[in-house]
Amino acid sequence: MSAELPRTALSWKILPAALLSLSGVPLFALDNGLPGNGLLGYGLLVASVVTAMFIDARLMRHLALIAAGMTIFSLVPLNADLSTGHMALMGGALALAVLVPWLVSRFVYREDIITFPVNTGRKWPLAAKLYLMGVVALGYFILPVYLIRTGVYQNWPDASDPDVFWRLFVGVNSVGIWDELFFICTTFTLLRQHFPDWLANLLQAVVFSSFLWEIGYQSWGPLLTFPFALLQGYTFKLTKSFTYVVSVHLLFDLVLFLALVHAHNRDWLPIFLY
C-alpha cells in the first residue's frame, strides 16, 4: 500500500530517495570504465542512506536494502558476455542482489514487505489477456526497427552457433525475470511504503532504465525502457501478481530474442517486416 504523508514530510523524504534513484545513472547508464562515474554513483548511494538517517529511520533501512542490492550487481560487468564464467558471475551477483534485501528484511527487520506473489488465486480478466497480446504486437513492430536502425543489436552476440543461440535465450529470459524480482517486487515495493505509488514508480523506473542501458538498450532505448518500467510498476500495483508481470516481460523478451536473431542474420526468421 502506498504511503500518504503530509506534504512537508513527503518533501523531506523525497531527497534521499531521489539520490538513490539518480545513483543508477552514473553507476550503470554512464558506466564507461571511468572511475569517476563509479565513485559518483557510490557517493550518491551513501548520501542517500546517510541523509535518510536524519529524516526517517524506517526509510533509511529500506533505502539501505535497495542500495545493498544495487551495490552487489554494480560490482560485476553487466553485458551480454555468454561465456560460462561470466554467466555464473553475473547470475550469482543478480541472485544475491535479490536475496540479501529479502533476507535482511524478513529476518533482521522482521518485516513481511518484500514478497513474490505467484499464486494469487485470481483469474486474469480479459483485459489482462488482451494486454499480453498487445505487448507482443508492440514488440513485433518496434524492436526490429530499434535494434537494426540504431545498431544496438551488436550489444548482444550473434546466435548463429546453436550453443550461443540457447545461451542467449536463457540469458535474456533470466535477466527479464530478475528485473521483476528486484526493480518491481523489491525496489518499487519498498518505496511504496514511503511514497505515493506514482512517485515510487518514477523512482524505480529511473534505476530500472539505467540498468537496462548498461545491459544493451542504448541509443534511444530509454524511450522504450522507461515507459516499460513504469508500466510494469503500474501493472504490479493493479494485479499484485509477480506471475503476471513476469509473463508480460517474458513475452516481450521472446520477441526481443527473435528480433536479435533476425538482426544478426536477416535471412533467418523472415517473420519481421523490417
**What is the per-residue pLDDT for 80?**
87
Among 171, 159, 143, smallest CA distance to 79 is for 171
DSSP 8-class letter at 272: S
**Mean pLDDT, each 10-residue run in order, the chain (274 residues):** 58 94 92 69 96 96 98 92 95 97 98 93 92 97 96 94 94 97 98 97 97 94 96 96 97 97 88 86
The pLDDT value given to residue 121: 81
- Give the integer Cα–Cα distance in Å for 134 and 163: 31
pTM > 0.85: yes or no: yes
Quick one: how far is CA 267 from the chain centroid?
32
Delimit the domains of the chain by residue range.
7-264
What is the amino acid identity at position 113? Answer: I
Range 168-205 burial, b when 16+ CB lie within 10 A, else e: bbebbbbbbbbbbbbbbbbbbbbbbebbebebbbbbbb
Say what the pLDDT of residue 31 is: 61
> From CA 243, how far away is CA 152, in angstroms rounded?
29
